[in-house]
Amino acid sequence: MIILDARVLIAHLDAQDAHHARADELLAATSPEPLGASVITLAEVLVAPARSRRLGRATAALQQLGVAGVALGVDSPLRLAVLRAETNLKMPDCCVLLAAETADASIATFDERLAAAAVARGYVVAGRP
């Protein structure tokens, strides 16, 4: 499984996004690997569609991609706190790391800080050498 960060999904869903083509290329390159995202990441991705009354279209696109929601578990507050303390990443990025840990998965991100932290913790980052 490949855990997607919000930026990749947001760019994929918005054809006007500066990273749209890059997101589409990254997602195509990951096929046929299953895709996932933390439930917090999915909520973050769906905020703009909810504001613009396009929530149905966005959720349908996520389903078409086959993005599975990864629950972070009842111990996630403690695990997220440790990740935040150890990496100094923002909490949404810690959710990506925790989802990868939970699913024993690699990560797809455009964020260099998140990618570096993931590699340092032994995760494969899609699209990187």
Considering just the CA atoms, what is the radius of gyration of the chain in Å? Answer: 14
Domain ranges in the chain are 2-120
| Single pTM value for the model | 0.93
pLDDT tens digits along 28-55: 988 889 999 999 999 999 999 999 999 9
pLDDT of residue 121: 94
DSSP secondary structure code for residue 67 in this structure: E
pLDDT of residue 9: 96
pLDDT of residue 105: 96
Average pLDDT along the chain: 94
Asked if residues 68 and 34 have their Cβ atoms less than 8 Å apart, the reply is yes
The single-letter code of the amino acid at 115 is: A
pLDDT of residue 129: 57
- Supply the DSSP string of 3-37, one letter for each residue: EEPHHHHHHHH-TTSTTHHHHHHHHHHHTTS-EEE
pLDDT tens digits along 62-118: 999 999 999 999 999 999 999 999 999 999 999 999 999 999 999 999 999 999 999
> What does CATH list as the number for 2-120?
3.40.50.1010
